[in-house]
Structure 1
Amino acid sequence: MEVLDILIIGAGPIGLNCAIEAQKNNLSYLVIEKGTIVNSLYHYPLYMRFFSTAEKLEIDGIPFISTAPKPGRQEALEYYQEIARQKNMNINLYERVLKVHKNQDFFEIETTKRKYSAKNVIIATGFYDIPNFMHIPGEDLPKVKHYYKEPYPYARQKVVVIGSSNSAVDAALETYRKGAEVTMIIRHSEISRSVKYWVKPDIENRIAEGSITAHFNAEILEIKDQSVIFKDQHNQVQEIENDFVLAMTGYLPDFDFLTNSGIELNGDCLNPTYNMESMETNVPDLYLAGVVCGGKDTHLWFIENSRVHAEMIIRNILLKNRDH
């Protein structure tokens, strides 16, 4: 069986960047991705625009040409997928990694299709796969959506949006403008300060004028077939009629996969253990790259500030190879 120099888990922007660095340095590699190339971006809302400008999303110095100051989902998909085509990357799509095990000499990687061997493994899986569940009655009803794609299904419906971050604000504004009756349930006292600066005044004005109802310092208690029950800022329990719930409560890395791979998690945020200079975890030759490094703190790493992980990892691998 061939023993790869590197097996990369995840074909997001950072996983692709790791593949580019491996190619540059003549290291044998394979990228395994459970979906399509930049799968998380593919599942973003159709009309989503990035907070970052195009140049901050570039990898390997390849220009990202955008027609707008802030590129959108479609442009990003074209950019990253075209890079994968141009570079003729070794990528297996629609294959999920089930297990990573380190034996004495190398890693054994088991997927839904076959087994692989590699000297080094890079986990670049992001955090968009697992919703941050609220664990309340009714959360499993079909009317509850943890992913928002586009506003059209919610026209003329009573929609509750849970959350106050970018995804919640986008969902609230877009569904409102397509004719939904929107109520936001927000556990904080204000709209998140991390909301895109050109969107924040819009949602605040819509709330101020009463076009969108917002309950701050509120807590969702139960979701029923035709209503939602929540506790308002005065600790009063309210029940309102409802057709759909968009639970924009955030997403989490696959912590079970990380721990089963031997990576130690720390503190309330379950921060993975890794070396800040090499990105190597407590498991020798097992590396982390990209937003997965932040644990529950999913606002810590972005494409623009984790692009450097690829060079750091490959530099460390080459250094080890030289020392051996």
Structure 2
Amino acid sequence: MKKEIPWNLIIQKLKHDITAEEEHDLTVWLAEDNHRVIFEELQTLWQKVQENAINYTPDTNYYWKELSKRMKTTEVKAEPSVHKTRSVSFKRYAAVASVFLLIALSCTLYIGINLGRPESGTQVYTNLSGKSKVYLSDGTQVCLHTNTSLSLNTDFNDNSRLVNLLGEAYFDIKHDKDHPFVVETEGMKVVVHGTKFNVTSHPDSANTYVGLVEGSVSLETSKEHRLMQPGEMATFNKLNNALSIERGDVHFMSSWANDKIIFKGKPLGYICRFLSKWYSVKINLSPSLSDKYIYSFTLRHETLEEIVRIMARLNPLEYNFDEHNVLTIKEISSTNP
């Protein structure tokens, strides 16, 4: 039963943001077994959240375990959604945004209120696949990319607006002149009062990257304190604490956080650059193919495998994902009969 719960459809229904096609899929699922009972329980939890949880920030991991016990599940883990979101391959779903939002914004919050758990400690949001949006209590919106964790104290917005980032995230910061928003990465802090910017700081990378889209931010390291202007990109080396700032393509850097990307008559090489960023996957493309084929389409929530499969139908291409999810695209070699 656990592997069949369509979390994404349920969330869209509870948020009153469900399409006709999604409504149909959900109706089919509700008609089976005791699925309606499960949905009604989740609906009740959601309503309780709206009524009672104005300023409460839950401990996600703790409350998800408690919710799992109440629902008599035997494993505590995020389930893949029946309604698929983006991932590097249709076989490789680890966690999806729907489960993330459900845990962070609904059931966990309700359980925390009813169990009377103290509002103290650390809140951790983790996204393993695709992208997930987090809405913080101060009004800030954070979009998390693949393999990213965001942590903050549960007194966030009371004493300070400090978060710690591992991975990549796009921030749309709610303005507050009296309480600067601080993103802490390994060896560097990004301090802002209200702006839009992208931060990439993976633990297995020697560098942290910051791209400023709007507003202004300051970067603080053990050696220096520097200001950034819109359109600038910063590179911080974690090994030697060197910091450099220069003009760059900040819109490409944060393109993965958009709801969609429209390609009109773009070559395969150009498109693969965006696909690599969008899906957070390495793509090896044969150099001869970079400008050979032109495509026009809109990228939304399709899987990467779906995109390249369609391309391979239109042109003589072959592709494969290796064990590390590296995608290789090359032209099908023609042979004479």
TM-score (norm 2): 0.28
Which of the pair has the greater relative contact order for Cα pairs under 8 Å at 6+ separation? 1
